[in-house]
Structure 1
Amino acid sequence: MPTSPGHGGGSASDASQLRLSSVPLSGTEAWALSSAGPSGRRPAAVTPHGTSSAVVSATPARLSSGRRELGEAPFGARAPAAAASAASLTPRVLHMPSESELSVIAGGARGPSSDEGAAPTRVLWGTDLSVDEVHARLLAFLREYRDTEDTTVALYTRALYRLHETESYTLNVDLQHLRAHDADLYKKAVRYPSDVINLFDLAVNNLYTEMFPGTAADERPQRLLVRVYHLGACHSLRTLEPAQLDQLASLQGMVIRSSHVIPDLVDAFYRCVHCQHTTHVPVEHGRIQEPPSCARCGLKSAYQLVHNRCGFSDKQVVRLQEAPEHVPQGETPASITLVTYEDMVDAVKPGDRIEVTGIYRAAPIRLNPRMRNVRSVYRTYLDVVHIKHSDRRRLTDVPDATDVDALPPAETAEAPAASSSAATEYANPPESNPLPELTASMQAHIRQLAAQPHIYERLVASLAPSIWGMEDVKRGVLLQLFGGTKKDFSEAGGTRFRSEINVLLVGDPGVSKSQLLGYVHRIAPRGIYTSGRGSSAVGLTAYVTRDPDTREMVLESGALVLSDRGICCIDEFDKMSEQSRTIMHEAMEQQTISIAKAGIIATLNARTAVLAAANPVESRYNPRLSVIDNIQMPPTLLSRFDLIYLVLDKPSADEDRRLARHIVSLFYDREDGHDSDANDAVVVGGSDESLPLMDLPTLAAYISYAREHVHPRLSAAASERLISGYLDMRRLGSAGASFGGQKTITATPRQLEALVRLSEAHAKARLSETVELADVDEALRLMRVATQQAATDPVTGTIDMDLLATGRSAASRARITELARSVWELLQARDGLGPFRKHALLHELRQQAAAAAAGSGSGDTSDISEQDFDDALRRLQDEERVRLQAGGSSIVKVRG
C-alpha cells in the first residue's frame, strides 16, 4: 500500500492508514497514535498535515526531556520499518485529531469484514497500550487521589488550583501516589515513559481546561507540564544496563560539571533565494532534511537557511558523579551525562547533591562527524525529567513527598496551611535552592526545642556522642556548623566580611580528630572530605581539562569550590604541599579562587568553612615549642583560623578510666544491635550527663533551620561587651606580657571579627535574632581556651598573637636582636674583614654565654640554637653589616 510523501495531507482513502506522531528534539521521541483494524494488523504509516486537525501544543521541556527518536520502538517492542520515515510534524507541537476526525479515522480503519458497531482501538505506536484507556485512567488518578492531610479534595486538583493562582506551569507528580492508586499504570509509566508522560501532559491540560473554562489552551502562554519523580528505590550508576534503555531511572550523585547554555535547534527555517518561498523543516533524529527543490518554483538546491528565523531551545549538559559515600572500596567513582532542557537549565551547579529522574538513553558515536558511520558501542545518558536537591537528605528525616521543592521566596517566612502544604509542593517547579523547606510540624518542633533551657548544652552533647570528652572542641565545631551572619557592604563602598568560621585541630595522634571531621562531613549540607597528603593545588581549587565530548577546554571544580556554602574537611593539614598552602590563603579569607590558565580567566566562589586537623612534626606535640614549630605551617595561613584547638593526650588515671569505659560501652551497644549515635540515653559525661540527646536527623534539621531562617544582629549591650572584651585582651600584652622592654600583641582585629562570628553563631543556636551578652561571653571564653592557648609563648608562658601572625613571639624577637648584637660585637673584636668560619663563631658565642651564666650564678644553662644564630646572621645581612659566602659557612664583614 503506498504511503503519502513526507509533506502534505493524505487523501480520504488514506484515513485508515493514519498515524499521528510528534517530532521531538535531537535524542528524543514523542509518542504516536495508531489505528488498528479488527485483524490487529498495524497499517502502513502515513503522516497527515491537514490544517483541519486540532493542534495541541506541548511544552518545550516535555518534548525535549523524555521522548524516543521517531521510529524507535519502546524497549521490548519493535516498530515497523515504515516508521522511520513517518513523521515530519513541527517539533514541540502534538497534532491531535478532533473527535470527528477520529471517527473518520476509525471508520476508515475498518475492513470489509469488520463489525460496523465496534468502537475503534487506538494504541500507542510500538506498544499494546490503549490511548483512550491510559488517558482515562490518568484523569481518574488526577481527580480521585487524596492524601492523608486533606481527604475532601483530591491532592492534584488542589495543586492545579495552586498553579492557577500562581500562574505556574509545572506539576510535580509523585509516582508512588500513582503506584498506590493504579499499580499497573505505574508499571506502564516506568516502562514507556515517553508515551505515558505525554498522555499525562494531555490529561493535565484537559483537566485544567475543565476546571477553569475561561482559560482556553490557546490563550495560555504555555501548556502545563508534568514532571514525575519518586520512582521508589534509586538506581546505582554501576547497575544501569541495556535492558533499562528507554525506561525511567532514578539516580543519586553529586554534580561535578555543568556546561553553559547551549542553543538547540528544533525547527529550521528555509527561504528560496529565487522566489523567496519559505518553509519550516523540523529536526528529525538530530538531522535536518533540507528540501531538495523549491516547492513553488521547482529550482533545485535553492533553499537557504535563515538562522534568526529558526527555532531554538535551551539545553545544558551536566555531569553527575557517584557520591563519595556510595563508591565501593577500591574503585573510582562512576559518572553519567545528564541532558536538561528549558526550565531545567541552570537548576543545579557543581557541588550539588541531587536525585534525578529521567529516561535512560543510548546515542551512537560517530567515527567522523562528517560521515554517517558509527561505532558499535553507544554512549549512554539520561534525559532529565525531574531534579530534586538532596543536599539535606543527610540532615533531615523528611519523607520524599514533602521535601521536593522549596517554597517561593515570598512564602518562606511562614509555614503554609496544612490544607495547602502538599498542594504547594506539587505545584512548584524545581528550584535551584538546595535547602528544601521543612514541614510546618517540624518547624514547630524545632522552635519548641529552642525554647527549652540548656539547649546549647544539649546540642553540644548531641554532636558526635560516640567521641568522648573534647567538650570545648565540640562547642567550637558546633558554632562552625551554624556559622555567622552574612554581611556585604560592597554596595556602600565597603567590603564583604565572611560569615564562615574556620577551625583547626592540632594535637597528638589517636585523639579522635579524624573521627570528628568525618562526623561533621556527614552532617554538613555541602562538603568535601579530603586529605592534605592526597590533595594537590588544582584538586583543592580548580583545574582545566578537555571535555571528552566537545574536546574543548573546560574548568573542573576542586574540593573548595564544590564545598561552596558548606564545610570542607581537610585531614593531615600539616602535610599539604607548599603550593596547596599558598592557594588556601585566598580561599580562607577572601573566599574566592582566581584561575588564569589555558586561556580561561575566572574567579570562583569558595564560601566554605574549613575544618582542618594537623599532627605535630614529631608525632607528639612538644610543649616547649610553639604551634608554628610543632606543625611547620606558615603563620599567615595559621592566622586565618578563628579557633585553634590544642588536642593533647595528657595521662590521667581518672580520665583514662572513663575513656576506656566509654570505648568499651560502644562495642557492647553494637553487639546488642544498637547504634550509640542514635541512643537518646547515651551519657557523654561532664555537666551534660542528665541531658537527653537529639538524634542525628533532628540535630541536622535544627542546624538547617537556623542557618536558613535565623540571622542575628548585635545588640547595643553585646557590642559594648565585645569592645570591652577585646580591649581586655589587648591589655594583657602591656600588663605582664612584656620582655626586653617590648610589649606583646595579645589580640588583633582578626580576633575581634572572629568574636563577632562566634557570638552570632551562638545566637543562632538559640534561634535568637539578637546577639545577647551570654553569646558574647561564650565567644570570649572559647577564644581564651582555644586560640589564645595556641598563641602562648612556650618560653615565657605569656599570650602573644605574634606567634600566629609572624611565627615568632616578642620574646623570641628580642632574643634574636640581642644575639645579633653579640655576634656583631664578636666580629668587631676581630681584625680584618674576614672571612670567618660560621661554626667557630657559634662555638665561641656559646662559651661566652656559658661563662656569663656561671659568673652571674643564675643557673641559666640555655644554649644558643643554630636556628637562632642563623636568624641573627640574616638580620645582620639585611642591615648590610655582613655577607655570607661559601653557602653560608663563611662570614665576611661588609664594613669594619
Structure 2
Amino acid sequence: MFYLAAKRPNPLTTLQEDEPVASAAPSSVLQMPFTRDMAFSSLTFTTSPAQSNMGGSGCTPISTPFQARSDLSSAGKLRLVNEQEKLQVDIDVNTADNQVVIWETNFEGVDQPKPFYKQKLEEIHLLERPFLNVDCTHIKQIDTTMLNQLLTYPQKVISIFDIAVNELFFTIYKDDILPHQIQVRPYNVDMFRNMRCLDPEDIDKLVGFTGMVIQSSLRMLEIRSAYFSCNICGFYVQVEIDHGRIAEPTLCTSCNTAHSFELIHNRSLFADKQFIKLQETPEKMPAGQTPVTVTVVAYNDLVDAVQPSDRVQVTGILRAVPVRINPKTLNVRSVYRTFIDVIHFRRQKTFTAEGGIEDQATNDDEELSSSKFSEERLAQFRNLSESPDIYELLSNAIAPSIFGHEDIKKGILLQLFGGTKKNFTDAGRKTFRSQINILLFVVIPCDVFGEYPRKLHYVLG
C-alpha cells in the first residue's frame, strides 16, 4: 500500500500561503491509496510525464479500485487528514464554539488553516490550471523511500501520483471539468547536480541542475494522437503515440482493404514543443574549461516559459535516443544523444547592476526603484528630458577635453543607457530584456594620440 502522504500534522506548523514553498514540509497532506490492482495499461508515457495525458476528454480520472481502510467512511469517500482529529499536543479544539486553546491561551473565532496541498487543489478548482507542483523536500520529510523511488523510477511514480491526485480532486469537486487530467510536477530535487556530472547511470532518472538559457527554438508541433481514415469505406482509427512512434494501421477491419488508410491532420491532436539550450553558469565552470551545454525539451505550457539570459533550475528526466545513419532508414549508430525531458522550471534570483537582487520569477513587471534619487535630482532629469537637443548635450558631456569624434562619443553614450521592460503577454510572448546591444568599431591606426582609450577612461573612471 503506497500513500501520497503520511503522518498526522501539527496545526502549529501548517504552512500559510504567503510562506516560501521550500521552507518547511506541508503540515497536512491528503492521503490517497494506491493498490496493487491498478492497471498500468494507461501509463505508457510517450515522451514526458508532463504531457502524457494529451488527447481525450480529460475531465474523468482513471478509475482505481479502493481497498477497505479504517480512514474511509461508510459512504466510501476519503476522509481528510487533520479534520475532526484529536490532536496529541496540548491543543483543545472546540468545533461547536469555534474556540481554540493553545497552551492555556484561548483564541476565539480563529479559523483553522487548510492543509497546504488542499489549498493547491482549491487553486486548481478556481483557476482551472490542472498542474500541481510538489516539493520533493516535503516527500523526503514524509517518506524517504518514496523519494528514492521517485528519483529512480520517475516515469512510473509520477503516473501513480497523477492517478491519486485526480481521484482525490474529482472526489472533492465532482462537477468540475478541466482541460485535461491534473499533472503532478515534482521539483526542488534533494541535490542539484552539475551538468558535467551527468553520466549514463542517470538515464531515465529524475535529475536537477542549474544553468543559464543561451538559446531557444521556435514553437513546434508534435503529434500526440493520429487520426487515420480509410479511403474506401471511411472507417477511422485513432492511434496514440507510443515511445515516439505512430503505428499506422495496414489493414482496414471494416472493408478488409490493405494500405488504404490516410492521415487526417485536422482531426489529429498535437502538442507544443520547444528545444532549449542551457549552459553551465560561470561560477560553476572550472577555470580554463569550455562551458558545457545541455539540450532541454519543453512541452505545452512550459514552451516560452524561460527566455535567453535567464538562470533557471531545471527538473527533468535524462533521456537517450540513438542517432540515425540516414534519416530515411531505420539503421542507427552505437552513439546515443542525450537530452533533458523537462518537468519543471524555476527561475533563480539574479544580481542587478544597481547592486540589488531581482527575482526573475516574480519581478518581471516591476520597474527599478527610483527612491535613491532625491526630488531635486529627479526634477533635473525631467527638465533635461524636455530639452530638444538632449542627444547633443549628453554626447558633448563625454570627454569634453577631446575635440571632435562626435560619432564615437554618441556610440559610447548609447552603450551607457538601457531600455525599459516591455511586456508582450497579450501577444503570446513574455517580457523582453531591457539592455540595448551597441557594437562600436574604432580604427586603431587612425587613433594616433590615443584619444579612444582616454574616452573609455573618462567613462569608466
Query: What TM bracket, shorter-length normalisation?
Result: 0.5 to 0.7
Cα distance in structure 2, aligned partners of 1:160 and 1:629: 70
What are the residue-to-residue correspondences of 1:141-540 with 2, within 5 Å? Answer: 152-215=113-176, 219-392=177-350, 405-406=361-362
**Structure (1 or 2) with the greater helix fraction:** 1
What are the residue-to-residue correspondences of 1:657-676 with 2, within 5 Å? Answer: none
1:607 to 430, 434, 447: 434
Please tell me the residue identity of whatever aligns with 2:273.
K
Please tell me the residue identity of whatever aligns with 2:327.
P
Cα distance in structure 2, aligned partners of 1:262 and 1:317: 9
CA contact (8 A) 1:245 1:360 kept: yes
- Give the secondary-structure state (helix, strand or coil) at the position aligned to 1:159: helix
Partner of 2:7: none
Cα distance in structure 2, aligned partners of 1:206 and 1:168: 16
Cα distance in structure 1, aligned partners of 2:81 and 2:448: 71
| Inter-CA distance 22–64: structure 2 relative to 1 (3 Å threshold) | same
Q: Structure 1 residue 591: deviation in Å?
A: 6.1
Cα distance in structure 2, aligned partners of 1:605 and 1:267: 34
Please tell me the residue identity of whatever aligns with 2:41.
L
Please tell me the residue identity of whatever aligns with 2:224.
V
Cα distance in structure 1, aligned partners of 2:347 and 2:336: 29
Cα distance in structure 1, aligned partners of 2:170 and 2:361: 25
Q: Structure 1 residue 170: deviation in Å?
A: 2.3
Partner of 1:106: none
Q: Structure 1 residue 266: deviation in Å?
A: 1.0
Cα distance in structure 2, aligned partners of 1:338 and 1:64: 20
- Give the secondary-structure state (helix, strand or coil) at the position aligned to 2:145: helix
CA contact (8 A) 1:23 1:91 kept: no
| Inter-CA distance 361–188: structure 2 relative to 1 (3 Å threshold) | same
Q: Structure 1 residue 17: deviation in Å?
A: 13
Q: Structure 1 residue 301: deviation in Å?
A: 0.8
CA contact (8 A) 2:61 2:167 kept: no
In the superposition, the TM-score normalised over structure 1's length comes to 0.34
Cα distance in structure 2, aligned partners of 1:583 and 1:295: 72
CA contact (8 A) 2:313 2:348 kept: yes
Cα distance in structure 2, aligned partners of 1:645 and 1:586: 12
Deviation per CA, 1:568-597, whole angstroms, max 9, x where unpaired? xxxxxxxxxxxx9999887767969xxxxx
Deviation per CA, 1:60-119, whole angstroms, max 9, x where unpaired? x44289xxxxxxxxxxxxxxxxxxxxxxx98989994553xx99xxxxxxxxxxxxxxx9
What are the residue-to-residue correspondences of 1:660-739 with 2, within 5 Å? Answer: none
- Give the secondary-structure state (helix, strand or coil) at the position aligned to 1:377: strand
1:20 to 35, 41, 65: 41
- Give the secondary-structure state (helix, strand or coil) at the position aligned to 1:206: helix
Q: Structure 1 residue 303: deviation in Å?
A: 0.6
Q: Which runs of 5+ in 2 are unaligned?
A: 1-36, 69-79, 86-110, 383-389, 400-407, 421-430
- Give the secondary-structure state (helix, strand or coil) at the position aligned to 1:232: coil
**Structure (1 or 2) with the greater strand fraction:** 2
Please tell me the residue identity of whatever aligns with 1:21.
S
Cα distance in structure 1, aligned partners of 2:130 and 2:296: 23
- Give the secondary-structure state (helix, strand or coil) at the position aligned to 1:333: coil
CA contact (8 A) 1:22 1:91 kept: no
Q: Structure 1 residue 186: deviation in Å?
A: 1.4
Please tell me the residue identity of whatever aligns with 2:52.
L
Cα distance in structure 2, aligned partners of 1:91 and 1:286: 22
Q: Structure 1 residue 177: deviation in Å?
A: 1.3
Identity %: 32
Deviation per CA, 1:148-178, whole angstroms, max 9, x where unpaired? xx98421111222233333332222111111
| Inter-CA distance 608–397: structure 2 relative to 1 (3 Å threshold) | closer
Cα distance in structure 1, aligned partners of 2:149 and 2:291: 32
| Inter-CA distance 646–346: structure 2 relative to 1 (3 Å threshold) | closer
Q: Structure 1 residue 199: deviation in Å?
A: 1.9
Q: Structure 1 residue 365: deviation in Å?
A: 1.0
| Inter-CA distance 190–344: structure 2 relative to 1 (3 Å threshold) | same
Deviation per CA, 1:101-149, whole angstroms, max 9, x where unpaired? x99xxxxxxxxxxxxxxx9xxxxxxxxxxxxxxxxxxx979x99xxxxx
- Give the secondary-structure state (helix, strand or coil) at the position aligned to 1:156: helix
Cα distance in structure 1, aligned partners of 2:195 and 2:57: 31
Partner of 2:23: none
Cα distance in structure 2, aligned partners of 1:240 and 1:633: 45
Cα distance in structure 2, aligned partners of 1:266 and 1:291: 16
Partner of 1:632: 452
| Inter-CA distance 384–581: structure 2 relative to 1 (3 Å threshold) | farther
- Give the secondary-structure state (helix, strand or coil) at the position aligned to 1:165: helix
Deviation per CA, 1:503-543, whole angstroms, max 9, x where unpaired? x999xxxxxxxxxxxxxxxxxxxxxxxxxxxxxxxxxxxxx
Please tell me the residue identity of whatever aligns with 2:339.
Y
CA contact (8 A) 2:43 2:156 kept: no
In the superposition, the TM-score normalised over structure 2's length comes to 0.62
CA contact (8 A) 2:38 2:64 kept: no
Q: Structure 1 residue 329: deviation in Å?
A: 0.7
Higher relative contact order (CA 8 A, sep 6+): 2
| Inter-CA distance 293–346: structure 2 relative to 1 (3 Å threshold) | same
The total of aligned residue pairs comes to 349
Q: Structure 1 residue 629: deviation in Å?
A: 5.1
Q: Structure 1 residue 285: deviation in Å?
A: 2.3
Cα distance in structure 2, aligned partners of 1:17 and 1:213: 22
CA contact (8 A) 2:297 2:339 kept: yes
Please tell me the residue identity of whatever aligns with 2:196.
R
Cα distance in structure 1, aligned partners of 2:173 and 2:62: 21
Please tell me the residue identity of whatever aligns with 1:387.
F
Cα distance in structure 2, aligned partners of 1:157 and 1:95: 18
Q: Which runs of 5+ in 1 are unaligned?
A: 1-15, 31-60, 66-88, 104-118, 120-138, 145-149, 407-432, 438-445, 458-475, 486-496, 507-579, 593-603, 618-626, 648-896
